[in-house]
Amino acid sequence: MQFRARQRRQAPAVIIVSLIDVLMVVLIFLMVTTTFRQQPAVKLVLPESKAAREGVTEKQPPLFVDISKAAPHLYLAGKPITADQLQAELTAKVAENPNVALAIRSDTEAPVGQLVKVMDAAKAAKIKAITAYTKQAGQK
């Protein structure tokens, strides 16, 4: 025996507007708390030099080669590279711009042989301006 007639239930309504508001608040919170500092691809401890000086502002930024103590030792613009590939890349850059400068950032414990390979590749590519990055004595 049924005393009440069955009523069809409606599906619950989902209020999208409030969900979008919550999503926007979470998105704004994440954007504000995120740091946009660029992290270097290779962690290096530069060698100390008493003759170290501040870099000179140039019209065109140099091409950076990093030498790390752990394999792979060579990095061109933050990407790992072999010595043979490095020479090919440097030759291609010189073909694009004959006045390209090379900046070497080497770890204090990096193998000296890798530095020699970079210098040889730069000479073979006919790069005229080669600089090495160091830090002043006593500086962290």
Reported confidence tier of residue 10, pLDDT bands at 50, 70, 90: confident
Reported confidence tier of residue 94, pLDDT bands at 50, 70, 90: very high
Helix 83-96 to helix 112-124 angle (10° resolution) is 30
Hey, where are the domains in the chain? 48-136
CB-count burial class (<10 Å; 0-12, 13-18, 19+) for 101:
middle
Contact present, 123 and 83 (Cβ < 8 Å): no
Task: Give the predicted TM-score (pTM) of the model.
Answer: 0.60
Amino acid at 130: I
pLDDT tens, residue by residue, 17-30: 888 999 999 999 99
Mean residue pLDDT across the chain:
82
Q: Of 55, 54, 61, which Cα lies nearest the Cα of 102?
A: 61
CATH number of 48-136: 3.30.420.270
User: Quick one: average pLDDT of 103-114?
Assistant: 88
Is residue 45 over pLDDT 80? no
